[in-house]
Structures are given as C-alpha cells and as structure tokens.
Structure 1
C-alpha cells in the first residue's frame, strides 16, 4: 500500500477554530448565531486542506468582515465522541485587540449571526455554553500567562 492510500484510510477528526478578540477596554467579543441558541466566539469549522489558523482567519473575515492576523495558539482541546457528535479538535487562537475604527467596520452576515457584543470576560463566559465557556476560560489563562494549553474533554493535561 502506498503512503497516500494508507493515510487516506486513517480516521479523520472534525476540527474547528475560534479567536479571542478584544476591544481596547479588554472586553471579549462574542457573537450570537442564528442557527443555534447561545453565544459563541468568532470562528468555525476547518475545511478540508485548510490549516486551523487559516480557517480561523477565514471565519473571522466571513463573520466580522475583518482580516485579522491569527497566529498564536492559546488552547487546543480534544473532545471525545458523544452520542450526538463525533470526536473533534477545537483550536482557540489570539485574535488581538481591535481599534475603535476596526470595531466600527464589523459587518455580520445576517444569515449566520444576529448580534455581537463586547463584554467583560467573566460575563462572556456566563453567556457561552458550558463546554465552550470552559475552553475559553483556559484560553484566557493561556493568554495572560503567555503559554499554550492542551485539554482533553475539558481537563488540562500537563
């Protein structure tokens, strides 16, 4: 069996990438999707042949209308399969701090997002679903401590 055939037969994992983006007051940007309840951080699915950082940059551009540099990985979480979802990898990147001019340029795709807001990180965490809230909390710690964290099912592995 050649290498391509061998690697094509290996299991594939679903991946998504999101960004922590702040305003000058260090409030976190969250977005409200039209297709589900609750709030999210900007981001979305990694497409075939796309790196997680490129996916994050593309999703931020599609969701906010802003082309931001996405480079620093804050947190990577492996999530085991559950009855209603396959196993997956979730990446959280640092998206930086927006200027007032950039904030004024935010344009949401109406079919996908109905609102956005900046709020204190603790308030943002309360608006996110528990799994995302936990991951974002770890990512905020990683940002503050200038390190990268790895989680499995919400637990940091050291």
Structure 2
C-alpha cells in the first residue's frame, strides 16, 4: 500500500558533486569544459544511489587523474530549474595538492573527457575565468575552509 504522505511523482533534483582542490600556494584546480564558457571546479553529477562524496571522487579522477576521498562538505548551492531540473551542488574539500600531484595531473583527450584542460588558478583571478555564479560558489567554499560540515549517511559519518 502506498504511503499517502508520499507524492505520486517525487520531485526530481540533480545532484552535482564538485571538489575544491588547492595547490601549496593556495591556487584552485579548475577544469575547462568544451560545452561551457568558463572554467569549473572538477566534478559532475552523481548517479542514482551513488554517495555524493564518491561521485565527486570519481569525477575528479576521470577528469584529472588525481585520487581524493573527500568527506568534508564546504558548500551547498541550490540552482532553480531552468532548461534542466533543479539542482543541488555540493562542494567538497579535496585538500591540498602536492607538487607530485600537480605533476600527475592528466586530462584525458577532449573527445573522451569533454575538457580542453585543467589548471591551478589564483583565487583572486577566478572572476576572469568563471561565470559569476561559479566564482561565487568557489569563493564561499574557500571562506568555509577549516569550518567544513561533516558528511553523514543515515546519521553516521560517511567513510
């Protein structure tokens, strides 16, 4: 029997999962997608029932070759529906990249990745590289560093 409190058609909401990764000088890792004007934090959409931190890690690795297991949430950004369904975007703390990480940064060919490339950029110059909304999201996440929210799954700290 259907629970009368549950809507017949639950709302659809996409879940974006991004990683804020900085180098030792505080520059932020950005990717340059071929389908948008401007740079973004690495990441992408979670698949059905995929934990968001694992989606963020999966996209980071696919886009840059870097491995991270983020478990601290820096920002949650709601985007109302436009030509796509409404979206929640979660920004995770990817920590600091070492010089070795920077040397290992590998972007797959554009025909496979949809990316022109990736680079570390000075936070003071992000407004020239990103859309205003993307820049604001990154600046808010940077302001939250050191005060991140724990990530929970069913009330327990996510691994």
Shorter-chain-normalised TM-score: which range? 0.7 to 0.9
Alignment of 1:83-102 (within 5 A): 84-102=83-101
**Which residue of 1 is the match for residue 73 of structure 2?**
73
TM-score (norm 2): 0.83
RMSD of aligned residue pairs (Cα, Å): 1.8
Q: Specify the SS of the correspondent of 2:138.
A: helix
In structure 2, what is the equivalent of residue 120 of structure 1? Answer: 122
Structure 1 residue 129 and structure 2 residue 131: aligned? yes
Alpha-carbon separation, structure 1, partners of 2:27 and 2:41: 12
The structural deviation recorded for 1:77 is: 1.3
Unpaired runs of 5+ residues, structure 1, are: 149-158
Structure 2 stretches of 5 or more lacking a match? Answer: 150-159
Q: Check the 8 A contact 2:72/2:148 in 1, yes or no.
A: no
Tell me the equivalent position of 2:12. 12
Distance 1:30 1:8 in 2: 40
Cα deviation code 1:94-120 (max 9, x no counterpart): 011111111111110222211222121
Q: TM-score, normalised by structure 1?
A: 0.83
The residue correspondences of 1:14-33 to structure 2 (distance < 5 A) are 14-33=14-33
Contact 2:18 2:92 in 1 (8 A): yes
Equivalents in 2 of 1:100, 1:117: separation in Å? 13
After TM superposition, give the deviation of residue 8 of structure 1 in Å. 7.7
- The 3 A distance-change label for structure 1 pair 47 and 8 is farther
1:143 aligned onto 2:115? no
* Alpha-carbon displacement from aligned partner over 1:6-31 (angstroms, at most 9, x marks no partner): 57831121110111111111111111
CA shift at 1:147, angstroms? 3.9
**Aligned partners of 1:125 and 1:136 also within 8 Å:** no
- Asked if structure 1 preserves the Cα contact closer than 8 Å seen for 2:63 and 2:108, the reply is yes
Give the drift of 1:44: 0.7
Count how many residue pairs are aligned between Structure 1 and Structure 2: 144
